Amino acid sequence: MNRTELFDQDYGDEQLEFEHKLTAKSKSRKAKWREIEQIKEQRRLQRELAQYEQYSY
């Protein structure tokens, strides 16, 4: 192997590692976003249920 091939191989490994970190970050952000959306939906449903309970008595 000559010098440029070694450089390209190292760069490729670093690039793959960088891409892996980006996908890991994006997956964790999406998971957090889904969790937040789920909490919002639960609160909305609780408010809606409370409105129905108010009129049921």
pLDDT band at 14 (very low <50, low <70, confident <90, very high): confident
From CA 45, how far away is CA 57, in angstroms rounded?
19
From CA 33, how far away is CA 53, in angstroms rounded?
A: 30
User: Which of 7-11, 29-33, 46-50, 51-55 is least confident?
Assistant: 7-11
Q: Provide the whole-model pTM.
A: 0.58
Closest CA to 46 of 38, 4, 1: 38
Distance CA 37, CA 15 (A): 33
What is the average per-residue pLDDT within 19-35?
Answer: 88
- Element holding 41 (H helix, E strand): helix 3-56
CA-based radius of gyration for the chain: 25
pLDDT band at 43 (very low <50, low <70, confident <90, very high): very high
